Amino acid sequence: MKVGFIGIGQMGRHMSRHILNAGYSLTVNDINKAAVTPLLNQGAQWADNPGEVARSCDVVFSSLPTPSIVEDVVYGKNGLKSGWKPGDIFVDMSTNSPSTIRRIAADAAVMGISVLDAPVSGGTGGAEKGTLAIMVGGDTAVLEKVRPVLETMGKNIFPVGGIGCGNIAKLVNNLIALTTNAITGEGFVLGVKAGIDAKVLWDIIRVSTGNSWSLEQLPGTVFKANFEPGFKLSLGRKDLGLALTMGEETGVPLPIGEAVRESMDAAIAAGLSEKNVQAVILPMEEKNGVKVRIS
């Protein structure tokens, strides 16, 4: 099986490396050729555009920042569509809009191309370790064909339904995670302002009902004033926006998600878009005159 990978960013550079290390023939493409140099040095092949990747590969994976970029990779000049061959498989591992990937899958099917949406959870740490959770929407028979490649990136592979369902699962996960992240920041600002030591509060909540993934991140991020990504605030805001749009499309009001959007927008307005999502706490700290830190 000849494998292609498009999008060698914070996540994709690790995911593609695992594929290459497993012995697959790998062809890569990214808008920044310098990003793929380590892979090329290890034996990967370079393609000048997505169409070339499709022409030379049986299955192509993508890990891209936004739905519009995925659309450009598929439909744009020298996009995947220009190089697809009947029987090819396209696996989009981006956090995408369910309606966008469904449209791509419908167009691809006319050409004899199978499409899966397979967004991931686990962050850059999970990508680096090859321990990602992978949520796969689409035909299970197609999933079984690419399962060995997916297993190089993570063993927790969840078939979740038809095309688009992978992204439904991912967006619900991120809606919950980003909401928890924002309220964790608010709670710690409240606790410190009211007079409790941040470490003492963390020790209590960690073994109580308020524990969460967001809480577990605090020692390495907020407590040390370390807000380098990680999961960028701008990408988190994009994911939240996709979840809110899905709510509008399905007629489900998401008032708590709307409130979190305000908190994230305030942090982005403060110039923090390229920082970790935990940076949502910084405007809260400034407004209340406290710092949630431990020495």
18-53 per-residue burial string, b: 16 or more CB within 10 A, e: under 16: bbbeeebbbbbbbeeeebbeebeeeebbebebbbbb
Total Cβ atoms within 10 A of residue 97: 23
What span, in angstroms and rounded, lies between the C-alpha atoms of 3 and 54?
9
Q: Which of 77, 81, 145, 170 is catalytic?
A: 170
Provide Rg for the chain, Cα atoms. 20
264-273 per-residue burial string, b: 16 or more CB within 10 A, e: under 16: beebbeeebb
Grouping H, G, I as helix, E, B as strand and the rest as coil, residue 255 is helix
175-204 per-residue burial string, b: 16 or more CB within 10 A, e: under 16: bbbbbbbbbbbeebbebbeeeeebeebbee
What span, in angstroms and rounded, lies between the C-alpha atoms of 198 and 200?
6
Both tokens of 108, joined, read 């691809």
- Residues 6 or more apart from 151 whose CB is under 8 A from it? 157
Is 170 annotated as catalytic?
yes
Following CA atoms 268, 272, 277, 278 in sequence, which dihedral angle do they give, to the nearest 10 degrees?
Answer: -120
> Looking at the annotation, which residues are catalytic?
170
